[in-house]
Amino acid sequence: MRAFKARMKYGHCTLFMNSSVRLRFAPSPTGFFHIGSARTALFNWLYARHTGGTFVLRIEDTDLARNTPEALHVLYAGMRWLGLDWDEGPEVGGPYGPYFQSERGDIYKDYLEILRKTGRVYDQDGAVYFKVSGEVQVITDLIRGRVERLEEKDFVIFRSDGTPVFHFVNVVDDIAMKITHVVRGEDHLSNTSKHQELFKAFGAPVPEFAHLPLILKTDGPGKMSKRDRGSLVEEYINRHFLPEAVVNYLCLLGWSPKENREILPIKTIVDLFELTAINKNNAHFDAQKLVFMNAEYTRALPLEDLVARVKPVLTEAGLLEGYADGYLKEVLAIAQEKMRGIEELPVNLKSFFSDDFEYDAAAKEKVFKKGDPKARLHELKGAFALLREFNEESLEIAVKALAEEHGVSTGEYIHPARLAVSGMGIGPSFYGLLRVIGRDRVLKRIDDFIQVM
RNA sequence: CUCCCGUUCGUCUAGCCUGGUCUAGGACACUGGAUUUUCAUUCCAGUAACAGGGGUUCGAAUCCCCUACGGGAGACCA
């Protein structure tokens, strides 16, 4: 039913109500949600939604020390922020639970018994070892093709303290949860020979494998680590990125729609996504491109949506007190076209909501360098006071008239006035800025600025 | 050290499977210009790549081999 809903949601043909495709994302809660993990989750989710299959969230919390409620919260919050809803798993349940490995001890014991009966394990130093077959494992990977690897040494599947190890629980759960496609990072490719041996030892069908390329540091060696700037989903949440932009960017790291189009709605990506179209080579993380995408998405947002998303951010910054929603909407209506992200708003839009703002030093220096800004501001004051209407049209006419009268460029009015009114050298359309700030505040701010010149 | 994976503009990629249409396309970034006789937008233009060497072939970015480089894995971590 869940799969059916997913199909309806994304407008697929519903010839088949669901499919037997089952994918899982199996993170261990570490307290961080790494961008690489997020991409793995995303690709699993995409393929589940593409096929109308089932997306399972399984928590690999066998490392009890790191398994805290806070760590789980970070994970759920990140998943939900990215829009990666799971069909089975914590908080939603499902027929193959429990979905925490820490609660599946009995299942692991049962599976161990199977291996004991078939003579594939032995005990040594208190630990249980799995006997490898000695056969070369031919792994068929949807992304990499045929990969051969020989697992040479027997390996531990139960520690001497009685707890099972990753390779064992991972495979057992994939069997028990009827996972058909294992989509994970390439760092697991070398483990796959172990896993395939286990699948075969259990007499279970070997799932399809798809090993994703890794996300490498922007510069410098190695893969992104949690210490690298930009490597955590939390960071993008805190910086008020639009999740759809982050998702779109992540989709393009290792996958491409192959049609010279990059900004794609998730619905389209779900339609086009194929595991076999994923690249083999690792990709460097490019924060600049993500920022660009975020800007594109931000500017394309319907105004109402933008207002809704900005409101809590400016409220938190303490800027919205005493202002009606309508005013915020007016401000954003003129600011949106040049926005790069919501993150910059508490600073860039401060002067719309507060008289307590600083004058940008660089802009100030630039303004003082040219012409006679003081005289220009006095002229503006006079002209603004006389205007019948205080709107874009009348303001533009007035400024242009002054410029012509005094034989200077409008820039000589605009630069100092923008600085006086907003404290900044850059910003929304100048005439819109004046209109929204309003005549009284504009005049007062020009006065104030003249005082400090 | 061993095993596995990879290598197209600075970065993400298209093309590679099914050799000729590739004087290698798009995007970010960068540079220049236009518009806004401001700017963060928008528009236009430009710089820039098939890792190297050997084959196969009439012809190779595309197929094969070697080298180099990059990445990953080698735990009673996950």
Positions on chain B within 7 A of a protein C-beta:
3-8, 10-15, 25-29, 36-42, 70-78
**Residue with nearest Cα to nucleotide B28 C1':** A289
Residue A289 approaches strand B within 7 Å at CB: yes
Is the pTM higher than 0.90? The answer reads: yes
Question: A92: burial class by Cβ within 10 Å (0-12, 13-18, 19+)?
Answer: middle
CB-strand contact A214/B, under 7 Å: yes
Separation in Å: B2 C1' and A152 CA: 11
Give the model's pLDDT for residue A409.
86
Residues 124-183 of A with CB under 7 A from strand B: 124-127, 144-145, 147-150, 155-156, 159-161, 163, 165-167
Model confidence at A298, pLDDT cuts 50, 70, 90, reads: very high
Q: Give the CA-to-C1' distance from A137 to B59 in angstroms.
A: 39
Q: Which pLDDT belongs to residue A65?
A: 64
In chain A, positions 433-452 with C-beta closer than 7 Å to nucleic chain B are: none
The answer to whether residues A91 and A132 touch, using CB atoms and an 8 Å cutoff, is no
Calculate mean pLDDT across residues A281-301. Answer: 96
Taking residues A26-30, what's their average pLDDT?
Answer: 93
Point out the residue nearest to B29 (C-alpha to C1').
A288
Band (A366; pLDDT cuts 50, 70, 90): confident
Summarize the confidence of residues A309-319 as an average pLDDT.
95
For the CA of A327 and the C1' of B32, the distance in angstroms is: 40
Backbone angles phi, psi at A315, to 5 degrees: -65, -45
User: Does pLDDT of A12 surpass 90?
Assistant: no
What tokens were used for A389? 């209407």
Measure, in angstroms, how far nucleotide B66 C1' is from residue A10 CA: 50
To the query of whether residue A226 is one of the catalytic residues in this protein, the response is yes
pLDDT, one tens digit per residue, over A259-287 is 899 999 999 999 999 999 999 999 999 99
Instruction: Supply the DSSP string of A421-449, one letter for each residue.
Output: HHS-S--S-HHHHHHHH-HHHHHHHHHHH
Confidence of residue A311 (pLDDT cuts 50, 70, 90): very high
pLDDT over threshold 50, residue A4: no
The residues spanned by each domain of chain A are 104-212, 301-353, 361-452
Q: What is the mean pLDDT of chain A?
A: 92
Mention every residue, 6+ apart, whose C-beta is less than 8 A from residue A125.
A160
CA A148 to C1' B60, in angstroms, rounded, equals 28
A366 CB and strand B closer than 7 A? no
Query: Mean pLDDT across the stretch A205-232?
Result: 93
By CB atoms closer than 10 A (0-12, 13-18, 19+), residue A413 is buried
pLDDT at A14 over 60: no
SS3 state of residue A229: coil
pLDDT tens digits, residue range A375-408?
899 999 999 998 988 989 899 999 998 988 888 8
Q: Of the candidates A26, A39, A27, A71, which has an alpha carbon nearest to the alpha carbon of residue A236?
A: A39
pLDDT digit string, tens, across residues A47-101: 999 999 999 999 999 876 667 889 999 999 999 999 999 999 999 999 998 999 9
> In the block, which residue shows the tokens 């014991």?
A109
Is the Cβ atom of A282 within 7 Å of strand B at any atom? yes
Q: State residue A419's pLDDT score.
A: 93
Closest nucleotide relative to residue A188's CA, C1' based:
B73
Q: In this predicted structure, what is the pLDDT of residue A7?
A: 35
List of E strands, A112-206: 121-124, 127-130, 136-141, 145-150, 155-158, 181-185
Output the distance from A64 CA to B13 C1' rounded to whole Å.
Answer: 41
Which listed residue (A178, A217, A226, A311) is catalytic? Answer: A226
CATH topology of domain A361-452: Arc Repressor Mutant, subunit A (1.10.10)
Please report which confidence band the pLDDT of residue A25 belongs to, taking 50, 70 and 90 as the band edges: very high
Q: Whose C1' is closest to the CA of A28: which nucleotide?
A: B78
| Per-residue pLDDT at A94 | 96
- At residue A42, the pLDDT reads 98
What percentage of chain A has pLDDT greater than the value 90?
Answer: 80
Confidence grade of residue A370 (pLDDT, cut at 50, 70, 90)? confident
Residue A3 has pLDDT above 50, yes or no: no
A397 CB closer than 7 A to any strand B atom = no
Give the residue from A232, A207, A229 showing the smallest Cα distance to A220: A229
Report, as an integer, the average pLDDT of A404-423: 90
For residues A242-266, average pLDDT? 95
Rounded CA separation A344/A207 (Å): 46
CA torsion sign for A161, A163, A164, A165 is negative
Q: State ipTM.
A: 0.94
Q: Which nucleotide is nearest to A404 (CA to C1')?
A: B37
Assess whether pLDDT exceeds 80 at residue A15. no
pLDDT band for A175, please (50, 70, 90 cuts): very high
User: Does the structure show a pLDDT above 90 at A172?
Assistant: yes
Q: Is strand B within 7 Å of residue A231 (CB)?
A: no
| Confidence at residue A150, expressed as pLDDT on a 0 to 100 scale | 95
Task: For nucleotide B15, give the residue with the nearest CA to its C1'.
Answer: A258
Please give the Cα distance from A427 to A387 (Å, whole number).
23
> Is the pLDDT reported for residue A120 higher than 80?
yes
Q: Tell me if A111 sits within 8 A of A171, measured CB to CB.
A: no
Architecture of domain A104-212: 3-Layer(aba) Sandwich (3.40)
